[in-house]
Amino acid sequence: MDRDGFIRLERLCKGYPEGDRIRHVLQDTTLHISKGEAVAILGRSGSGKTTLLNLISAIDRADCGEVWLDGTNITSLNDHEQTLFRRSKIGFIFQFFNLIPTLTVWENLVLPLELNGGVSPDDHRRAEETLQATGLLDRREVFPDRLSGGEQQRVAIARAIIHDPLVVLADEPTGNLDEETGRQVLDLLDRFTRKAGKNLILVTHSLEAASYADRVFALRDGHLVEMGKKQLER
């Protein structure tokens, strides 16, 4: 276990104004994650799970504290540097898929590669292999509205990993799916991330989804509390 952590959240805090007061969503939140480790974060709606992912990915800025990824202090980068870092080093999976409706499956998949400078022949081959692994190669020219929810989420997972990121952040990836489809999506996500040696940070309401992780934390009152495996048993 890497004592320093491949990913390090150091004393993060974040609050939002509510009327004449500040609601502190995260308070002095610290977490170290080793390379290749999968971590799940449980918490009720509004507890700050999505906020935490937004801070890790530099979509939002913390009020205090630091986020380190592979030796880079993301919080010290300017907005442009954060955007470039996020595009190349981080993959994001959303509950509602966030596929671009006017782009085909293939165009959605290769978009991160185009944003990072273009699609090389090797990229093209990897994209085809990734679609093949998701079972969607024959649907590459289809638009998202012609796909089922599970198929859309499989495309979203493929898009999140196509540029070979260091870490994949998944925000309730099974929250909009039925139980069996959700299980299939979790198996695919596990195959593409943890079993491939990448880091996964998963926020979820689902105990089953959390059970795929190496470690599980509950976000309570702005703090992360590690949970034992027995606490995940129904």
Look at residues 232, 230, 233, 225 and name the one whose alpha carbon lies nearest to residue 29.
Answer: 225
Which superfamily does CATH assign the domain made up of 37-56+86-229 to? P-loop containing nucleotide triphosphate hydrolases (3.40.50.300)
pLDDT digits (tens, 9 = 90+) for 154-199: 999 999 999 889 999 999 988 888 889 889 889 999 999 988 889 9
For residue range 97-140, what is the model confidence (pLDDT) as tens digits? 889 999 999 999 999 888 877 778 888 888 999 999 989 999 99
| pLDDT of the residue at 1 | 39
Domain range summary for the chain, segments of one domain joined by +: 37-56+86-229
Task: Record the tokens describing residue 85, joined without a space.
Answer: 């870092």
Task: Round to whole Å and give the CA distance between 106 and 159.
Answer: 9
Backbone phi, psi, residue 104, to 5°: -70, 175
Q: Say which residues have a Cβ less than 8 Å from residue 206's Cβ, sequence separation at least 6.
A: 174, 175, 182
pLDDT surpassing 90 at residue 146? yes
For residue range 30-47, list pLDDT tens digits in order: 999 999 999 999 988 777
The count of C-alpha atoms lying within 13 angstroms of the C-alpha of 138, restricted to the half-sphere facing its C-beta, is 1
Torsion of CA 130, 207, 99, 58, to 10 degrees: -100
pTM for this structure? Answer: 0.90
Take residue 62 and report the two structure tokens written for it. 């913390």
Residue 58 tokens read as 């530099």
